[in-house]
Amino acid sequence: MPAYLYCVLPAEAPDPAVNGIDDAPLRALRAGAACAWVADVSVAPQPDLERIRAHDRVVRAAMATGFTPVPVRFGQVAASDDDVLAHLQSRDYRADLERVSGCVEFGIRIVDPEAHASGEADSDPPPVPDGEQAGAGAAYMRTLAARVHAAERSRTRSLDAARAIDAALASGVREARVESSDHPPGAVVAHLVQAAAADAYAERARDLARGHPPLRIVVTGPWPPYSFVGT
């Protein structure tokens, strides 16, 4: 029977004590240094909010074991238990587990409200000017160009703020990802933070987030380390 994967833990981690998506009972499969929390499924579940929450609930339960899981993306199904075991053997999870060990993730989302103000127009073409008028085509092109420049300015401004916040939060942060975001125009920071430093980090991040008006900056976390797995 196909097996749906939730997360991978060190082999010595306990068996799951929660149920998964659609209330499916979970089990642990161990091979080498790793242990996968899985559930039997007949077909890959389609994502909806409730199932996404259920997936996260399992990964959070894994966090609560005292070990730090490598979260698996929603919807990953192996054909059989044997395939899960083969996967645990073939991908050496020791490095992944070591990378996130003892850490939680925080997210910082930076959105430029000025980009938002012009946001709905972005997807629609500007009104086509009256073709009879002299210079109408040029005006149309100028409108388009101005829009592109405004979005670019927003991304640059957001990314600058993201880098400044990232630089100011170095303490307790094991790893950082700083990326610009097109939709919505802005930037996203993900931080892998030592669990013991999480409270101090959150307080400091909240303070820093106030320092970049007019940008809107929202700190979320702690999360399981979703953004710090794989490459």
What Å distances lie between residue 36 and 8, 59, 87, 162, CA to CA?
A: 4, 11, 10, 35
Residue 141 one-letter amino acid: M
With a CB cutoff of 8 Å and minimum separation 6, the contacts of 195 are 102, 103, 104, 222
Interface with other proteins includes 60 (CB under 8 A)? yes
Coil/strand/helix, residue 46: coil
Nearer to other proteins, 140 or 194 (CB): 194
Work out which of 111, 162, 176, 189 binds other proteins, going by CB under 8 A. 111
Work out which of 23, 42, 127, 132 binds other proteins, going by CB under 8 A. 42
Nearest one of 67, 14, 66 to 37, comparing CA atoms? 14
> How many residues comprise the chain?
231
Interface with other proteins includes 12 (CB under 8 A)? no
Work out which of 13, 35, 63, 169 binds other proteins, going by CB under 8 A. 63
Interface with other proteins includes 33 (CB under 8 A)? no
Interface with other proteins includes 90 (CB under 8 A)? no
Work out which of 32, 102, 113, 129 binds other proteins, going by CB under 8 A. 113
With a CB cutoff of 8 Å and minimum separation 6, the contacts of 164 are 212
120 token code pair: 């709905």
Nearer to other proteins, 56 or 175 (CB): 56
Work out which of 96, 103, 155, 192 binds other proteins, going by CB under 8 A. 96
Interface with other proteins includes 31 (CB under 8 A)? no
Categorise residue 54: left if φ over 0, alpha if ψ from -120 to 50, beta otherwise. Answer: alpha
Work out which of 29, 72, 150, 192 binds other proteins, going by CB under 8 A. 72
Interface with other proteins includes 57 (CB under 8 A)? yes
Residue 116 one-letter amino acid: H
Nearest one of 200, 199, 191 to 109, comparing CA atoms? 191
**Residues in region 188-217 near other proteins by CB under 8 A:** 202, 205-206, 209-211, 213-217
Interface with other proteins includes 123 (CB under 8 A)? no
What Å distances lie between residue 190 and 90, 103, 107, 181, CA to CA?
A: 28, 12, 5, 13
Interaction site with other proteins (CB under 8 A): 5, 8, 18, 22, 42-50, 52-53, 55-57, 60-61, 63-64, 70-78, 87, 96, 104, 107, 109, 111, 113, 116, 119, 183-184, 202, 205-206, 209-211, 213-224, 226-227, 229-230
